[in-house]
Structure 1
Amino acid sequence: MRTLTTLGLLIAAFSSLFYFLDSHLEKFYIFEPAHLHALSKKAIALYGNDTTAVVNHIVSDLHANYPAHVNLDEEWMFNNAGGAMGARYNNRLYIIHASVTEYVIIFGSAVGTEGHSGRHTADDYFIILKGTELAYKPGPGSYQPEVYPQGSMHHMKRGEVKQYKMDEACFALEYARGWIPPMLFFGYADTFTSTLDFSTLWRTTYVTGREMLGNLANMKL
């Protein structure tokens, strides 16, 4: 009985803390979707389809503004999630930022990809740097895809789910804000059910964990 009482108190305390933090998430964000969108459009206007130059411009600007929270290591790796295969890629880095409440990455594929978006605990902003993304949200009277060309921003609200497709070469600046750790399970699932690429799983875990812990050390939740 005492054990159940203690467990109940712990659950109540954790729930109260979670709801308090969840209602104050805005205080932990350092990036803004509108700024990232404007920055991406400026980079596209300057460099067009030179995706390497576009990404380098974005990263340089973010590092100038958030030097303690932007990763400049050149890292990229495959990512399988929701049946889609892509490479989160940048000529200079892989994960730009990863913390408990936000991430900024480059996501895409040089040969195209398609899959399930997942239902996540964060708002997701997908800014197309090259190519076109198609998305589809099933519903009454919904028979046409959403079309997101270069320079546009696709916002998926927390808890929303869609099918998406990136024909041929397509890369995007992806920004998520909310609770990031639960999203990792979606990214890991295909490793155990299809690819069995545990080397990539370990690399993804290592880099993400390193960046999250580094940002926590810099007082960034």
Structure 2
Amino acid sequence: MAAIFDPDDLRAMAKSAVGLSNRQAACAHIIDELKRKHPGHIRDDIPWLFNNSGGAMGEMKILHFSLSEYLLLYGTPIGTGGHSGRYRTQLWDFVFDGEMWSYEEGELERTVFEPGGVSYLGKGRVKGWGVPHAAFMLEYARGPVVTMLPFGLADSAFSTVDMPTLAKQLWYASRLTIGELLKGKV
């Protein structure tokens, strides 16, 4: 089975949540739209989990995880920033609340992504990024997403040494991947 998510559709879904009454309503709206468009491939029963990667701390709600794609809600109510990671995948962040800043090596000015904006990280690229105050986004990765796990889990394993969070992340990602494999989704 090929990729089931389309970045243009995801952007429209995230954009449709901009300006809703609060973050909880925006997240619920996005999840409802995803479940309607992709029945059987969106899980909304997984709790929000802390995530430490590239020096940044936020929280995520995993909605889909397979060998070739992941989709999650990610954000922070207090701000953060760090290294994007360099991957063999493509990565999109669809901002629906707050502001995300980024810059690439050699850039002396930041790019600002406001609600409705999309930050794209191509294969083999890297960015510095930050959330000055608070931001939430729909994050989508396409490609060999398991190759992203060392970066995504290293801070929890070796910096914060937060083994309960690390175990939960691995448990949910594994559980969702097996569920998608049983549906024929790689």
TM-score w.r.t. the length of structure 2 is 0.96
**Structure 2 counterpart of 1:119, one-letter code:** R
Q: Is there any run of 5+ residues in structure 1 with no aligned partner, and where? A: 1-26, 89-93
Aligned residues: 186
**Structure 2 counterpart of 1:33, one-letter code:** P
Structure that is richer in helix per residue = 1
**Residue from 118, 128, 132 that aligns with 1:153:** 118
RMSD value, Cα: 1.2
Partners of 1:212 and 1:74 lie apart in 2 by: 14
Distance 1:168 1:215, change over 3 A: same
Aligned to 1:34: 8
**Structure 2 counterpart of 1:148, one-letter code:** F
How far the C-alpha of 1:74 sits from its partner, in A, is 4.1
Structure 2 counterpart SS, 1:181: helix
How far the C-alpha of 1:192 sits from its partner, in A, is 3.0
Structure 2 counterpart SS, 1:120: coil
How far the C-alpha of 1:195 sits from its partner, in A, is 0.5
Aligned to 2:175: 210
Partners of 2:22 and 2:8 lie apart in 1 by: 22
Residues 8-50 of structure 1, C-alpha deviations (whole Å, 9 max, x = no match) = xxxxxxxxxxxxxxxxxxx6100000001011112225x1x51
Partners of 1:145 and 1:82 lie apart in 2 by: 18
**Structure 2 counterpart of 1:56, one-letter code:** A
Aligned to 2:81: 114
Structure 1 counterpart SS, 2:71: strand
Residues 138 and 162 of structure 1 are in contact (CA less than 8 Å); yes or no, is this contact kept in structure 2? yes
Aligned to 1:126: 93
**Residue from 54, 61, 77 that aligns with 2:26:** 54
Structure that is richer in strand per residue = 2
Partners of 1:194 and 1:128 lie apart in 2 by: 28
Structure 2 counterpart SS, 1:29: coil
- Bigger Rg, which one: 1
